Amino acid sequence: MPRESARKPVYLAVYDTLADWETGHTTAYLARAGYEIRTVGLSGDPVRSVGGLRILPDVTLDDVRPEDAALLILPGADLWDTGDELAPFARRAREFLAVGVPVAAICGATAGLAREGLLDDRAHTGAVSFYLAATGYKGGDRYVDSDAVTDGGLVTAGPTDPVAFAREVFALLGVYEGEVLDAWYRLFHDSDAQAYEVLEAAEATEAAQAGTR
């Protein structure tokens, strides 16, 4: 994992009707790992989530340079399916991927990426296969019936799998690995109490190592 001072920020896209629950595990534990989470909107105007939370974006989409980011997260939102208002985020996702910066999309955001052609040549998942097929995209043969999928720097997941979505992001960025990553997933997905012991031991080891540097 990169040193905290060397980490680039993670950008969380925010827009009206965004699904609050889909990225909470991801952003919370990235922040705990030392990543700065910056919200990015189409403009500087406040947006309101589907749960009624009012969010004032930190920056606008035009101000974000993909090469200065660690990750772009695209949550689901009703707006992905009601018009082209959020299409600029899908176009910017293409720019992120082109310079080797990963993108993570969940729920309706996967449909936005499908319309942009970003799922045509990558293994991916989403809510259900016919939901993405309705976009008219050409990647139906690459659809995987799984909780979350990573391919070519792109993480995709359906709306009922926010924990698996976070797991894939953590693996991609090296936040957690191996048995620790598995334990994190088992704790938050399966309520496995034994998994907590693994995480606690890993945190103690990391703290001890940090104290000797």
Catalytic residue check, 107? yes
Q: Are strands 47-48 and 37-41 parallel, antiparallel or unpaired?
A: unpaired
Tell me the C-alpha distance between 51 and 21, whole Å.
9
Long-range contacts of 23-27 (CB under 8 A, 24+ apart): 23/73, 23/75, 23/106, 23/162, 23/165, 24/162, 25/162, 25/163, 25/165, 25/166, 25/188, 26/73, 26/104, 26/162, 26/165, 26/166, 26/169, 26/170, 27/73
Name the DSSP class of 80: G
Single-letter amino acid code for the residue at 99: V
- The total of other beta-carbon atoms located within 10 Å of residue 34's CB is 14
Q: Which of 42, 106, 107, 114 is catalytic?
A: 107
- As annotated, the active-site residues are 107
